Amino acid sequence: MSDRLHDLYAEQGQSAWLDNLRRDYITSGKLVEIRDGGARGLTSNPSIFQKAIQGSADYDEQFHELIADNADGNTHDVIEDYWSLVIQDIHGACDVFSKMYDHSNGVDGYVSVEVAPNLAHDGPGTESAARELHERINRRNLMVKIPGTEEGLAPIQQMIAEGRSINVTLIFSLPRYADVIEAYIAGLEQLAADPEADLSKVASVASFFISRVDVEVDKRLEANGSDEALALRGKAAVAQGKLAYKLFAEQFSGPRWDALAARGARVQRPLWASTGAKNPDYSDVLYVNELIGPDTVNTLPDATLDAFVDHGTVARRVDADVSDAESVWAALPGVGVDMDDVAAQLEREGVSSFAKAFDELIDALATKAAGLSG
Domain boundaries, the chain: 4-211+266-317+342-373
19: number of CA atoms within 13 Å, CB side?
24
Mean pLDDT of 338-363: 95
- Residue among 65, 90, 87, 88 nearest 76 (CA): 65
Distances (CA, A) of 275 to 37, 138, 303: 19, 29, 10
Q: Are 96 and 31 in contact (CB under 8 A)?
A: yes
d(CA 189, CA 157): 10
Q: Which pLDDT score, from 0 to 100, does residue 336 have?
A: 97
Residues annotated catalytic, as ranges: 145
Q: Which pLDDT score, from 0 to 100, does residue 68 have?
A: 82
For the cut 70, the answer to whether the pLDDT of residue 77 exceeds it is yes
Q: Which pLDDT score, from 0 to 100, does residue 364 have?
A: 86
336: number of CA atoms within 13 Å, CB side?
13
Mean pLDDT of 214-240: 98
For the cut 50, the answer to whether the pLDDT of residue 189 exceeds it is yes
Q: Which pLDDT score, from 0 to 100, does residue 101 have?
A: 98
Q: Which of 21-25, 59-63, 225-229, 345-349 has the lowest mean pLDDT?
A: 59-63
d(CA 326, CA 171): 19
Q: Are 270 and 249 in contact (CB under 8 A)?
A: no
- N- to C-terminal Cα distance for the chain? 50
Any bridge partners for residue 146, and if so which? 168
Q: Which residues have C-beta within 8 Å of that of residue 192, sequence separation ≥ 6?
A: 199, 259, 260, 263, 265
For the cut 90, the answer to whether the pLDDT of residue 187 exceeds it is yes
Q: Which pLDDT score, from 0 to 100, does residue 1 have?
A: 39
Q: Which pLDDT score, from 0 to 100, does residue 262 have?
A: 98
Question: 123-137 and 153-161 are packed helices; what angle lies between their axes, rounded to 10 degrees?
Answer: 40
Q: Which pLDDT score, from 0 to 100, does residue 99 have?
A: 97
Q: Which pLDDT score, from 0 to 100, does residue 358 have?
A: 92
CATH of 4-211+266-317+342-373 among 3.20.20.70, 3.40.250.10, 4.10.520.10, 3.90.1300.10: 3.20.20.70
pLDDT, tens digit, for every residue of 262-295?
Answer: 999 999 999 999 999 999 999 999 999 999 999 9
pTM of the predicted model as reported, rounded to 2 decimal places: 0.95
- The conformation of residue 313, written as its DSSP 8-state character, comes to -
For the cut 50, the answer to whether the pLDDT of residue 73 exceeds it is no
Mean pLDDT, the chain, integer:
95
Q: Is 19 exposed, middle or buried (0-12, 13-18, 19+ CB in 10 A)?
A: buried
Q: Which pLDDT score, from 0 to 100, does residue 201 have?
A: 97
**Could you give the percent of the chain with pLDDT greater than 90?**
90
For the cut 70, the answer to whether the pLDDT of residue 76 exceeds it is no
Mean pLDDT of 234-246: 98
For the cut 50, the answer to whether the pLDDT of residue 307 exceeds it is yes
pLDDT, tens digit, for every residue of 80-113?
Answer: 999 999 999 999 999 999 999 999 999 999 999 9
For the cut 90, the answer to whether the pLDDT of residue 373 exceeds it is no
Confidence of residue 55 (pLDDT cuts 50, 70, 90): confident
